[in-house]
Amino acid sequence: MAGPLTLKRAGKYGFCAGVRIADRTVRKLASEGRSGKILGQLVHNERVVSDLVQVGFATAASLDEVRAGTIVFSAHGVPPSFHRRALERGLLVVDTTCPFVYDVHEEARQALEAGFHAVFIGDSAHREVIGYTHDIVLTTADVERIDFDRHPRVKIFYQTTLNSEEYEDVALAIEGAADHAERADTICYATKENQDAARDLAADPGIDCIVVVGGRHSANTRHLWEICRAAQPRSYLVHGSDDLRADWFADCGGVGITAGASTPDSMIEEVEGAIRLLAASPAPASGPLAAPEAAL
């Protein structure tokens, strides 16, 4: 390296308020000696999930797996029927659904009552989307499969963790196919702030490469990496310090760091410290990773 390394964090990054509250809620339950199951990952971060297992809250893939005790609904939300089923089963429900997701649920309910057909742009396997969808689309080809003759009035919703600009063609396809279509503003403000800050970081002329920290299955973290990579090709997505390679930083004067909404502060600090050590190494460390994508 020609000079001292400069590390710069994005203006906004890491745990959003909803995720932070969900994490604290479950850890408080554990500190009180309680245990139970979490329906799906509380947050899409393997480190956090592993930590919660250690304190007595393992992940359940479905509600049918939980026969007794406490069930925690994650920040991503669940369909209203899940609450009813859990209570009928005698389970103690701890609901950590993000308030913003509940706002989307309510807007979707009102749209349906007003005679709209709800179309969600999102990943059909994402728990948030499963919670309140009729038709789910992610590509223009998905839009073509909807019979809009049956749905003259359509309300377009977005999965809250998406970058809406990347799906403008999908929204336009819906608007072109439906007689009447309206868009709901359902992109999480925290997600948008993280994405805007990532763009600013990638555009900084003093930044030579960027490290994005987050879970391997976190949609919002991957979107951050895609945003950074578009402006700064030397952008790497890592889950933790073990994914880093010294050769990434061999000729970097400035390294940018950002993180998804499911990434705890401790992981960001761990990665930042490891970057400093790797950048100071006299020789690049060898490892199995050969490209930014390999760190996924």
Interatomic CA distance for residues 224 and 254, integer angstroms:
19
Pair of tokens at residue 117: 């057909």
Question: Residues with Cβ < 8 Å from 74, sequence gap 6 or more?
Answer: 22, 38, 39, 40, 41, 42, 43, 96, 97, 127
> What amino acid positions are annotated as catalytic residues?
128
Which of 286, 203, 296, 199 is CA-nearest to residue 250? Answer: 286
Q: Which of 164, 83, 170, 160 is nearest to 126 (CA)?
A: 160
Say if CB 14 and CB 261 are below 8 A apart: yes
Locate 113 and state its tokens: 């009552």
**Cα(59)–Cα(62) distance, rounded to whole angstroms?**
9
**Residues 104, 161 contacting (CB under 8 angstroms):** no
